[in-house]
Structure formats: C-alpha cells, structure tokens
Amino acid sequence: MRCRIVFSLAALLLASVALEVFSPPAQALSEYGFLLENKPLGFSYYSLYPKSCSGFSKANLSLASNARGDFAFSKASQALNDLRKAKAHALLQPTFLTIGTLAAYRQYSSLCFAYGQKALKESVEAAKEGLSIIDGHSAKLEKMIGPEFQGFAGGIISELGEAKYAIEKRNSSGKGFGSQFVKTIQIVNFTPSSRAIAAAVQALVGKASLLESEVSLDDRVSQAIFLLEREMETLREQNGLLKIQVKSLKDALQAEKIRGIGEDAFYLVGKAEAISAEYDLESFEQDFRKADEDEKTASEKLSQAEADLKKADAGYASRAIEKMRGANALLQGAQETLGAMAERSQALESGLKKRLLQEKASVEQMMQNANAFAAANARSLLAKGLQPSALATRGERILFYLQKITEMQDLQAILGETVGESELKDRVKAKAGVLRELVERALRDAPLEFEQNRLGEIEASLATASIEEYPFFNGQLDELHSSAIAMLYGKYSALGEKYGKALFLSPFLGEAQQQKVLQLQGFFETGDINVEDAAGSLRKIGGTLDEIISQAEAKIPAILQKHLLDQASVEKQFDTPTVGEETTVRHKITFRNLLPLSTPKQIELNVQVPPTAGITQKGEGMTIGAKSVFLSGVAEGGEYSVEFETLEKIAGIKKSQLKVVSADLLEANAEEKIVFTSTEDTEVLLLLNRPFPLEYAEADSGKTMFFSGESSSEIRALVSAAKGENQVSFNYAIPNPVALNRSSRTIQNGNESLFEMDFQLESKYAELHGFKASLTEEACEPQSGPAQPTVSGSANAKVSVDGGIMEIIFEEDEFKKLETKEARVFLHCIPQSQFPAGNGLGQVETSSPNAYPDPALAKELWNQVGEIGKACAECVAQAKKQLLLGDLAQAEIELQTARQKAAEKQDSLAAESRAFQTLSQDFEGFRDDTLEAIAEFDKAFTPSEENAWELGKNLLHQQGKKTKGGLEKLLAAGPKAKNSLQLNSTLGQAKAKLESLMQTLTQQREKAQQEIELAEEKQTQFGNAETKGILAKAQDLSSEGMHFTGWTVARDLNKLFKKQEAGQGKGEEGNSIVLGAAGAFVLIALAFFFLRRKPPENTEGSGLGQEGFANGIS
C-alpha cells in the first residue's frame, strides 16, 4: 500500500511539474503590471532630507525608437517631459550643500525628485497601458485562431505564452519579452537615488526599453491579426474573382448551348478507343452538374465562413479561412472543369465537322450506283447544305453536325438497300400527307395558297405517276416543306423577341397574365419560335403576346418610376466634419434602368433636392423641381444622375462638463465630458479651445492631439460618431494650476523677535476639487514662547515642525476659479536663512510640452492635398483628417500614400483610356468589315423581279435577315459604349453575329455551287445549246456574288434535266434532250425569264411549281 501511495504521489508530482512546464499561465500580460509599481517617498521627504539630483542631470531623454502615436505615446512623452523638467531643476541645484545653499539645495531637491517620481509613475503607467493594448490585440488574435492554428499567428500566441511563463517564473536570463520584463521589474522596484529613477524611466520608455519591446511585440501581434484579416480579404477577393470567372465561363458555355450534349456526340468522332483517350467520354451535362455542385458547395462554404466571422466566437477566423480556402479550391475546380469543357467542345465541333465531310463523301460515292428514289433523296438532302450557317452557337452546330452525320449514315443505309415499288409509293404519299396537315394548319397564319395548290397538283400527279417519277416528287415535297417553313419563319421570327419581353413584363400584370405567357413556353424552348410545331396558332400566339406587351407598355411609366426609385443609389461624401461647424456635403443621386423597357414620356421621381443646394451636375433630360426630379424620358439601360452640394452641420456639442478631480501646486488632473450629436455615422473632429495650458490631454477613444501655450491650449480629437447622441471623455493634466506668492518679514516685539510668513494661493484656471499641497520651510528654536508656530487665514492650512524643518500642508475640498486663499505663519524665532520674497514654488515656470503646428508646413501640406485631390479626391481623405487633427508628421506620411494611390489611379485611367481607344479603333475596323459583309449578304440575296416572290420563302434568307438586324443594332450601340468593358462586350457579340451571317452567306454560296456543279454534270449528258446558255447565266450570277438568283436558275435547270432523265427511264432513247413543242416552250420560257428578267404573269409560272416544269410530270 505504501509503495502505491508513494508511486501515486510521485506520479502526481511529475504530472504537476509537466503541467507547470508545458502549460503556460493563461492570464493577461496586464495582470503582471502591478510588478512594475514603485512606492515613492513622500513629497516632503526630499525637503526634510534633500538628496543630490545629479543623476537627473545626466538622464537620457530619448523615447523608444519605435514609439507609436497610438501606443501609450502620450504617457511616455509626458514621462520624458517631466524627466526633462527634473533634469532642468537638477542643473539649478547647488553642487555642494552648505549652510548658505541649504534652502536652494532643499528646494531643487524637492522639485527635481517630484518631477522625477512623476516621470517614473507616468512611465509605469505607459508600460501598463502598453500591456493592456497588447492584451487587447492578443485576446483578439487568440479568439480569431483558436489553439490548433499553425503558421505565423500560432507562433505569436506561443511567444505570448512563453513571455507569461517567464514572468511567472521570474526568469531574467532569456532573450524574450518575458525576460526583459523581469529585468525591468528589478530596475523599477529599487530607485533610491536620482540616477536610479532616471535609469528606471529610461528602462521603461526610453531606447531599448520595455516600451520598445512592448511596441515590437504588439507590432507582431497586430501583424498576425493583419495577415489573418488580409488573408481573409484576399480569399474573399479571390472568391469574388473566381465567381466572376466561373460565371463568365458558364455563361459562355451556356450561350454556346453546350449543356446537354451527351456521349453519343463523342462516339461519333471516331472509334471508341480513340475518343476515350482523346476526349474523356463524360457528358457535358455531367460536367455542368459537377461544376454547379462545386459552385453551390463553394457558396455554402463562403456563407458558413461569413457566418463564423459574424458570430465571432472562439477560432472564428481560422475556421473562416479554412472554409474560404475550401470554397476557392472548389471554384478553381469548377473553373478548370468549365475551361476543359470549352476546349473539348471546340475539339468536338472540329472532329464532327471532319466526320461529316467523310460521311458526305461516302454518300456521294454510293449515289453513283443507287436506285433513282434513293439517289433523289440523297441529292435533296445534300442540296440543303452541310454548313450550320444560321446557328450562332457551338452547341447548336455540334447537334447540327450530329444530326447531319446521322442523316448521312441513314442515307448510306438507304442507298445500300433495294426499295420496292409499293414501299416507295407509300413513303412518298405518307410524306405528302404530313405536309398536307402542316400546310392546312399554317394557312391560318400565312398565305400559303401556292404551296397548297402545288401540293394538290403533286398529290393528283402521284395517282398516275410512274415509279420512275416518284423520286422527283419526293424532292418537290421537300422543297414545299422548306418553302412553307421559310414563309412562317419570315413572318413570325419576331415572336421569339416578343415572348422574351412578354415573359419579363407579365409579372407586373398579375398572375393570370403571367400564366398566359408561361403556357406558351413549349413553343419557345430554344428562345426562338418553333414555327412548325406552332403552325396554325402563330397568329393567335402573336396576338396574345401583343396584348400582354400592350397592357404592360401602358403601365411602363409607372413600372419605370417604381423601378428607378427602387434602384436609386444615394452617395454622400464630405470631408471630416468639425463638431459645431458647417461642412460641405457632396450628394450624388443615380437612377439606373435595368429593365428592357423605355418610354418617351416624362417620369416624375419623388426625390427632393434642397432648394438651397448648389447643383454641380445633372444628366441630360433631367429637371429639378421643388419636390421632385423629372426625367424627360427613360431609355433602355439608361442612367441618370444629379450631383449637388449643401452646407450642413453634421455634428454639434450638446453639453460639456469640466471637473478637476485632484490638484497640487505642480499639476491638476481634470476630466471633461462632452456630449455631442451627429446626423451621420462618421469620424468627427472635436476642436476645443481651453483657457489653460496643458501638459497632457487624451480622449477615451480615437486619436488626440493638443497644442499648449502659456495660458491657453487647443485640443483636437478625431473620434467616431454614431447617428444620434455620443459622449467622449477627456483627461487633462494642467500645469501649475495654483499661483503661490510668499512674503516674509521680521517683527520685533520688545525683547521677542518674531518671523512672519504670508502665503497667498490663487486658483488660476478652474475650480479645483481635492487640492492638496505641501511646502517646507526652515524652522528655528524659540528662546521663549510657544515652540510650535501658529497659522491663521482663509486657507485650510496646517503647520508642523520636525527636526528643524517646518511643513505647511494646504487642503481644500473646493477651490474656486480665481479665488484667493491666504495663510499667515508666525515663528517665535528667526531662521538662520530666509527665502527671497516672491520665490515660491508657484513661480517656478516650466516649458510647454507642445507647441502649435508649424503654420508654414501646414500651409504647404494643404497645398499638396489640393494638388493631389484634383486628380484623386478620395486619395487625400486620410491626409485631410491628419491635417485637421494637427498631426503634421502623420499627414506627411498619408500624403505619400495619397500620391501613390493617385498615381495608381492615373495609371488605371490611362490603361482604361488606352484600352478604350484600342477597342474603338478595332470596332471602327470591324464596322467597316461588317458593312462590307452586310453588303455582300444583301447582294447574295438580291432577287430578280421574277423570283422576288420566292425570297420570302427562303429559310436561309429569313434567318440571315434576322441576324443582320441584330448586327446593325450592335453596330449602332458600339459608339455609345462608356467604357472598355462595355465596348468589348458589344464587340464580342457583334463578332458572333457577323460569324453567323458569314456562315449563312457561305451556305447559300455552297448551295448555289452544288446546284451549278450538278447542272454542269447533267449538261454533258442531256444538254444542248439553249441549256448551255442558261447554265452560263447561272455561273455568271454566282461568280458576281448573286448566289440566291444563281441558285434558283441552276435549280430550275436541274429540274428540267430531272424530267428528261425520268423520261429516259421510261424508254426514251438518246443521251441528249429531245425537244418537242413542250420542251421548246420550256427553253424559250427559261431564256425569257432569266435573260430578260421580267416578272411572270402569276406566281405559278415561276420557281417551284412552274407550269414549264410541272407539265409532263404526270
């Protein structure tokens, strides 16, 4: 049992030792401040027992080299200032003590030690204040990171723990802060001489002092806080930038309609093995989903981090940083995923395009040996072109290529199969039935009588047509379908834009109207109208949308009025206001129209500009009324602002109260409480002029400067103010608050000699509370009469004699301003030496610690503020504050920062100007190229008088015309751009539109070329001189850029060749066209139609369904 107990005790001892070694004390550094306290001897001690002040005369008066204005600076400076006074009095103290110098030696001993001890007390207070500041910052740091955090901040917390441990163990052998603190304790606690006091002051606040180490430690703590806050801010900025980049990539991909492209698209680009290695067969939808999930999780992590910061409990910053890092990593992953998607989609588009060309070549090869029906189908599909000219997005082009590849593969299957006569007829008749249903629906929306009549002719012809003629009619049905769709699209293509506008406006009209629009959503899945699905309802859809838009447009002024007021931003700027004085306030009210709406009507906005305001700037079309602001009209995307200035008293003093809480002959300690009101949450300058000098002034918050003269002072404090009532307290040290006059005389009363001393005290500056002062005089031994001196007068004075020294103590609970207190002391003997009259302590003058600011330097700094402010007003705000405060040194530092910021702003403005100029030049060049492209497009689709009717039935032209309209709007918007970002966006959109327009042009050019090449091939088989002339005309038209007309000529010629080819299938002989009366008529009609270019008598005599091509089919 004993062994167990011994073992347990040993274990407990070891555990306690380990705990003691490895668990530093948790208390704050300021709790060790009491160790620095010094117990000085009483004021009268140095009069009774005067000491040499020589140690003060050699005192070093330098302040800590890294002293900061916000770190116990006032107390430390005051300590050295009092040490300077002690040094000054030490130089006046007689070097040797004799009976003749005793009085002066005693007097200056009292003075220099009084100031020396005061300096020591203030140095201790400065050191203790420094510890409290470190504690405040370290508590914040500890709360920010928690115990497990690594890195610089964690190292600082460890350093603080080691310092506390060293102090607790009184370890002075180390090199850290704790060891220096322990060394300073030893110096401060034992100050028997002037040299020791001066050394203690220097050890506390001088160079290489405790204060210097405190500032250095606090700098590191503050740096750790700053680095944490900067990391959080940097992470937040990175998060914002990553969000923009991810959104930009996502918007770009969504604008390209990449979402939803599946793996099938990848497998079509080649063998699965190659695709797996080259493209990563995950679908774009999965990648989008992953990017969305990463973005959502990142947003949640950021929200959690912001919640941690707001809650600010233990470890909040470290947790927030960890979550922000995680959020940014997720966003970086999403950015990489989306970037890879962009690259993969480009590669996929290129691969599909190449694959399509390969499939096309295979189809063309197989057509040479295919049956007539299959070859006609293939030729019809190939004639439609393989370029996605009307598709502006990559996703649409990928799906287009995919569809075309599928069609080519289907064609290969069709070309490779044998179709029976019955099946062939069923297929063509079924296609005619589907087309009949479409045309009958579409007739309610567009004049499709030609298509209806021609379809009837084809259906009638199919009843008696031979099997060889069915491929021809199959192609005719395809063209009729394209013609009907083109007619509908040309008439109703604007519905897509109307739907978008109605969808946006309908919520302003109530739920019922909104539901009407939402019910149409199925017809606008791609954003554009699906005319084939909506055929038969297009007119009704247009009416519904027009009704919604019309109703909304009637309310547009009211909608815009509310929107502009909701979106209004009010900016208010002013320099640091001085309490009680008027300040110039600069106002800017901005109204932004973020809706796709506009109105030419006047809009009244219930925003009042004060009648006394000076309008400095207002937007075009703005009128300032007595109670409202009026806009003459509101444009889509419009921005309107008015700027004005007012004079306002932002803050004013409500009341102030000054109270002196303690005083002696050297100094009065006073408190002043000031209550002031403010109309804004801002920093304000309190400017106080007081009719007394100051040795010290400090507000309980903000930053304080004071400037003292001989009989007055000025205090300037920069403090934070909240809206409403605020209070700030000042602590003052008023030097020499009481004037002391002393006079003495010798009175001979018979054989008795009396010595009379008169003391007159006057409160010079304020009512004093708790006034207590002590004076010492040389006493003497009376030969007869009372041994103790007597005292009389209005002053509350007591006198005592001890060891040849007389001490007079004055105590006044209340000592009113300018009140005089008198005391008369009688000695029944004559002292050996006498004080010269008027040489009282109250006559000892000291230099003022602060002088007023250098007016010349202040003027120069204000001039610099003005010059820099011209280029960057916001850059000089801090410099202005310091100038108002009177801190010229800090103002110079802030001006250097302001110059740097102004230079950076100028560089930014110059870079923006260069970017805008470069983009403007690019836009002008692009505009010229675009106008040429538009002219080329217009020429390509310029019809003859005879085929103008057919242009409206051409889908490529309808799509290109819409693209052209959008492009022209963008060209008009470019010169209106206000910055490079806006201009770059407009330029990018315009380039995309131009690319789409050029693809349309390319597709029409290729269609014409394909028809011409086919005609050239058939000319060699069936042509003659007349058809050769028509072919030459088609070639000339296309070479001149009139691709649409060239295409129609070649197409109609090919129809004639097809008729002849079908006729040969029935057994006609010969390899050239045998022209009978009908054939001769056709050639004459073609020549007349294309060479003379006169309009046909009716629409059935030209183009699709011309009688010259229809005759002989059935």
Please report the pLDDT score of residue 787 as a whole number: 64
Q: Which residue do the tokens 């002040």 mark?
A: 53
User: Residue 225 corresponds to which amino acid?
Assistant: I
- Please give the helix or strand (H or E) that residue 163 lies within, else none: helix 152-168
d(Cα 469, Cα 477) in Å, to the nearest integer?
13
Q: Which residue do the tokens 């070329």 mark?
A: 1009
- Please give the helix or strand (H or E) that residue 336 lies within, else none: helix 316-367
pLDDT tens digit sequence for 898-921: 888 888 878 878 888 888 888 888
Provide DSSP, 194-241.
HHHHHHHHHHHHSTTSHHHHHHHHHHHHHHHHHHHHHHHHHHHHHHHH
| Residue that wins the pLDDT comparison between 381 and 572 | 572
Spell 1040-1060 as b/e; 16+ CB within 10 A means b: ebbbbbbbbbbbbbbbbbbbb
- pLDDT confidence of 1013, banded at 50, 70, 90? confident
User: Residue 664 corresponds to which amino acid?
Assistant: D
Q: pTM, whole model, 2 decimals? A: 0.55
Chain centre to alpha carbon of residue 294? 22
Phi, psi of 530 (to 5 degrees): -90, 95
pLDDT tens digit sequence for 863-902: 888 888 888 877 888 887 787 777 787 888 888 888 888 8
Provide DSSP, 53-102.
-HHHHT---PPPTT--TTSSHHHHHHHHHHHHHHHHHHHHS-SS--TTTH
**Mean pLDDT value across residues 751-777:** 85
pLDDT at 79 over 80: yes
pLDDT at 1011 over 50: yes
> In 3-state terms, what secondary structure has residue 970?
helix
Please report the pLDDT score of residue 401 as a whole number: 77
CA distances from 956 to 772, 822, 846, 1005 (A): 105, 114, 98, 11
Six token digits for residue 418 = 């044998």
**Mean pLDDT value across residues 596-602:** 86
Please report the pLDDT score of residue 47 as a whole number: 59
Strands 651-663 and 768-778, sheet pairing: parallel
Residue 496 contacts residue 529 (beta carbons within 8 Å):
yes
- 526 exposed, middle or buried (CB, 10 Å; 0-12, 13-18, 19+)? exposed
Please report the pLDDT score of residue 889 as a whole number: 79
pLDDT at 5 over 70: no
Provide DSSP, 919-944.
HHHHHHHHHHHHHHHHHHHHHHTPPP
Please report the pLDDT score of residue 316 as a whole number: 84
d(Cα 239, Cα 772) in Å, to the nearest integer?
64
> What would the CATH number be for the domain defined by 738-843?
2.60.40.1170
pLDDT tens digit sequence for 1062-1092: 565 444 433 333 333 334 333 433 443 344 3
**Mean pLDDT value across residues 509-514:** 85
- Give Dmax over CA atoms of the chain in angstroms: 178
Q: Which of 384, 284, 240, 327 is nearest to 955 (CA)?
A: 384
d(Cα 399, Cα 997) in Å, to the nearest integer?
19
User: Residue 1074 corresponds to which amino acid?
Assistant: V
d(Cα 1088, Cα 1085) in Å, to the nearest integer?
5
- Which residues, other chains included, contact 1045 with Cβ-Cβ below 8 Å and sequence gap of 6+? 942, 943, 944, 947, 1037
Residue 64 contacts residue 104 (beta carbons within 8 Å):
no
Q: What is the 3-state secondary structure (H, E, C) of 379-408?
A: HHHHHCCCCCCCCCCHHHHHHHHHHHHHHH
**Mean pLDDT value across residues 815-829:** 89
- pLDDT confidence of 25, banded at 50, 70, 90? very low
DSSP 822: E
What ranges do the domains of the chain cover?
29-226, 231-351, 497-554, 560-648, 738-843
Q: Which of 772, 794, 787 is nearest to 826 (CA)?
A: 787
Strand ordering across the sheet containing 703-708: 682-690, 713-721, 703-708
Residue 709 contacts residue 735 (beta carbons within 8 Å):
no
Please report the pLDDT score of residue 1090 as a whole number: 40
Q: What percent of the chain has pLDDT over 70?
A: 84
d(Cα 469, Cα 1055) in Å, to the nearest integer?
12
Please report the pLDDT score of residue 651 as a whole number: 93
User: Residue 609 corresponds to which amino acid?
Assistant: V
Residue 778 contacts residue 802 (beta carbons within 8 Å):
no
Alpha-carbon radius of gyration of the chain? 49
> In 3-state terms, what secondary structure has residue 437?
helix
Six token digits for residue 590 = 């901005």
